[in-house]
Amino acid sequence: MKKTDTAFNMLDAIDEKHIEEAVNYKKKEKKISFSLVGWQKGLVAACLALAITLGVLAMSGVINPVNAVEGTPVPTPRVKDINVLTDFAKSGVRYYKEDSDGVYYYGKPGYDYFESVGSPSRIKGLISPKEFGDLSKLENAYLCVDNMSDYKFACEDGTEFHIMVNYKAWNRYQLDDDDKTIDWYNKANKAFADNMLSAYNYAAKLPEAAEYDPSLFSEDLNDCYDGSTDLILDGGNLVYSYVDGKLSCIWFYACDTLFEIYSDKKTDWVHSLDGWLSDLASMETAPRAAKRLRSISEASWKLALQDIYDRIEYGKETGHITYPDSWYRKDAEK
């Protein structure tokens, strides 16, 4: 008997009660309801009246929306150059840099050690204005370009915060292992953790902005998306998934292939470099990626993993990441 025939026979054997249930399946209705008792109704009415009055006065110029205590206008943070960010997000190019003359350009820098085995197209999704709604309202605007390269923050007050994340990767090719570099690294990680959280908080206020859009991500990522995630931040080689404000999952992404490296659901999960390489060796669905990943030297892998561990370590210190202690130091201890 052929497998397809067996499969057909199995489906044919499904009880009619299950078919009937599917035939008559009704979508869950999304109901929002509340009821108020008498005094609550009065309070709501009073608040509405006050809000309308203030609105009318503000629009007519009778009052200014100022901070009543300090007496100064409430600042509205804005991104300085939203067009650049928008264009960047549309372009699908991962690297975004500014040269010494302040000219923006996009392209592939040669320093990323994954460059030797990947291509810009390996990351098909980027954080885009579409996901974050109106970026001009984002308090700490940021562009998460690639965890292996640059972050750029451009704010209304003219300050720009341009940092190189992943000092260790840089160190290998570009930078000296001095105090200044380490200082950069620490700042970068702080900004990373802080802004990941603020980005989440921002998106959480805009349910439609946090809607997962599969077209922005590759099939690999879509396959991992379970529908319960509030927000996915694609940080380049690392993809972060948040649920209820907490990091729930990190995937490492290289060569069009996604590897789960952290999950808050796997409390006993231990993964090591050897484990990864073993997994790669057994990958049947992505032989090309496996072959290419395996071609990376062990030193590079350790470097990459060390960076991930350090980043998670920092996240733990700042309280932005909670995770089991059991798994993550395995390679670092070697």
Partner 1 sequence: MDHLDDEEIKRLYSARDERAIEETKQCYGRYILSIAYNILNNNEDALECENDVYLKLWNTVSDKCSADLKTHISVVTRSRAISMLRERNALKRGAGEPENIPVPIDDIAELLPDETVDNEIIEKDELKSLINSFLSALPTEERTAFIKRYWFAEPVKTVAEEMDISQSKAKILLMRTRNKLKQHLKGKGVVI
| Residue 7 C-beta: closest distance to partner 1, Å | 4
**Residues 104, 106, 161, 225: which binds partner 1 (CB under 8 A)?**
225
DSSP-derived 3-state class of residue 250: strand
Q: Two tokens at 130?
A: 């579409």
Nearest distance, CB of residue 232 and partner 1, angstroms: 11
Restricting to residues 2-61, name those near partner 1 by CB under 8 A. Answer: 2-4, 6-16, 18-25, 27-28
The residues facing 98 across adjacent strands are: 104
Residues with Cβ within 8 Å of 213's Cβ and at least 6 positions away in sequence, in order, are 130, 131
**Residue 235 · residue 315 · CB < 8 Å:** no
In the bound state with partner 1, the residue whose beta carbon lies nearer, of 17 and 180, is: 17
Q: Which is nearer to partner 1, 12 or 176 (CB)?
A: 12
Burial 288-300 (b: 16+ CB within 10 A, else e): ebbebbeebeeeb
Give the span between the Cα atoms of 13 and 17, in whole angstroms.
Answer: 11
Which CB, 6 or 174, lies closer to partner 1? Answer: 6
The minimum distance between CB 219 and partner 1, in angstroms, equals 9
Give the interface size with partner 1 as a residue count (CB under 8 A): 32
Distances (CA, A) of 314 to 17, 158, 189, 307, 320: 53, 29, 7, 10, 9
* Options 1-9, 57-65, 77-85, 325-333: segment touching partner 1 (CB under 8 A): 1-9
Instruction: Report, in Å, the least distance between residue 205 CB and partner 1.
Output: 21
Please identify, using beta-carbon distances, which residue of 23 and 103 lies nearer to partner 1. 23
Give me the least distance between CB of 291 and partner 1, in Å please.
24
Residue 90 CB neighbour total at 10 angstroms: 12
SS3 of residue 73 by DSSP: strand
Give the residue, chosen from 159, 227, 333, 334, that forms a contact with partner 1 under the rule CB under 8 A.
227
Q: Smallest distance from the beta carbon of 284 to partner 1, in angstroms?
A: 12
Which 187-216 positions form the footprint of partner 1 (CB under 8 A)? Answer: 212, 214
Q: Which of residues 126 and 165 has its CB atom nearest to partner 1 in the complex?
A: 126
> Exactly one of 134, 160, 223, 274 binds partner 1 (CB under 8 A); which one?
223
Can you tell me the distance from the alpha carbon of 128 to that of 231, in angstroms, rounded to the nearest whole number?
13
Partner residues linked to 231 by β-bridges: 242
* Site map (CB under 8 A) of partner 1, residues 153-182, x = contact: ------------------------------
- Closest by CA to 234, choosing from 126, 87, 141, is 126
Following CA atoms 212, 218, 223, 225 in sequence, which dihedral angle do they give, to the nearest 10 degrees? -30
Query: Which amino acid, one-letter code, is at 252?
Result: F
Least distance from partner 1 to the Cβ atom of residue 146, Å:
24
Binding site for partner 1 (CB under 8 A): 1-4, 6-16, 18-25, 27-28, 212, 214, 222-223, 225-227
